[in-house]
Chain A
Amino acid sequence: DGGITQSPKYLFRKEGQNVTLSCEQNLNHDAMYWYRQDPGQGLRLIYYSQIVNDFQKGDIAEGYSVSREKKESFPLTVTSAQKNPTAFYLCASSTGTGGDEQYFGPGTRLTVT
C-alpha cells in the first residue's frame, strides 16, 4: 500500500538536544513538506522540497533543518536553537503539479523538557 510513514509516533527529548524526525513516502511524489501544529492551531509550514537536493524555507524555518537526498525521504532535524520545539509535526507529500492534494503522514508528537 502506498502512503507516508513517520516515526516515531511519540518522541521525548531533553532541552539542548537535536532530534531528527523521519518521513518516508512510497507514492512517487516529487514534493514533500513539513508542518508544525500547536494545540488548537492550524498548520504552519516549516520547509518544503519540490525535487531531490532542493528545499525551501517555509514561514517558521528558524531552528529547523532538512535534507532531501532521496525522493522518498525528507527528514527534519529540530535543533537546540528552536525555542519552543514541543509540538505535533506533520509530514506531507504531493505530486507537485496542480490539484493541491497533499497526503499527510500520521505525525510525530515531540515533547522537549
Chain B
Amino acid sequence: GQSLEQPSEVTAVEGAIVQINCTYQTSGFYGLSWYQQHDGGAPTFLSYNALDGLEETGRFSSFLSRSDSYGYLLLQELQMKDSASYFCAVRESYGQNFVFGPGTRLSVLP
C-alpha cells in the first residue's frame, strides 16, 4: 500500500509564491501527479513528474525527488482564482491503482 502526506492548509497573498509539499511512502511508483479542485467541482490535472527534477507549466511548477520520496507544487504570481484544494497523487507501479493525498486547501488573500 501507499500513503501520502500534505499540509492541510496554506494561506498566501495575491502575487506571492507558495509551495505545497507532498511526501509519500511506497515500495515503487510510476510518478507523482498534481490536481486542482475548486469547491464543489471536479479535479483538474495540473502536472506530472515521472523523473527527478522540475517541470514547469506557466505559473505552476512541480518537482520530484525519488530518493527523498518527496515532491512539491510551486505556484507563482498567485491569483484569487488559485484559491482551491490541491492534491498530489501516485500510481502504483503494477497497475492503474491511483492513490491521492488528503489535499491542501490554498487560500489566496487580496
Contact = CB atoms under 8 A, between A and B. Distances in A.
Interface residues of B, number: 24
Given A48-B97, A96-B96, A100-B91, A105 B42 contact: yes
B101 interface: yes
A100 B102 contact: no
A100 B30 contact: yes
Contact of A56 (B1, B33, B50, B95): B95
Given A33-B98, A45-B97, A50-B95, A103 B45 contact: yes
18 contacts: A31-B96, A42-B102, A43-B89, A45-B98, A48-B95, A48-B96, A56-B95, A56-B97, A58-B97, A90-B43, A94-B96, A100-B33, A100-B48, A102-B33, A102-B35, A103-B45, A106-B42, A107-B41
Contacts of B100: 35, 42-45
A12 B68 CA distance: 45
Contacts of A58: 97
A41 B103 contact: yes
A62 interface: no
B24 interface: no
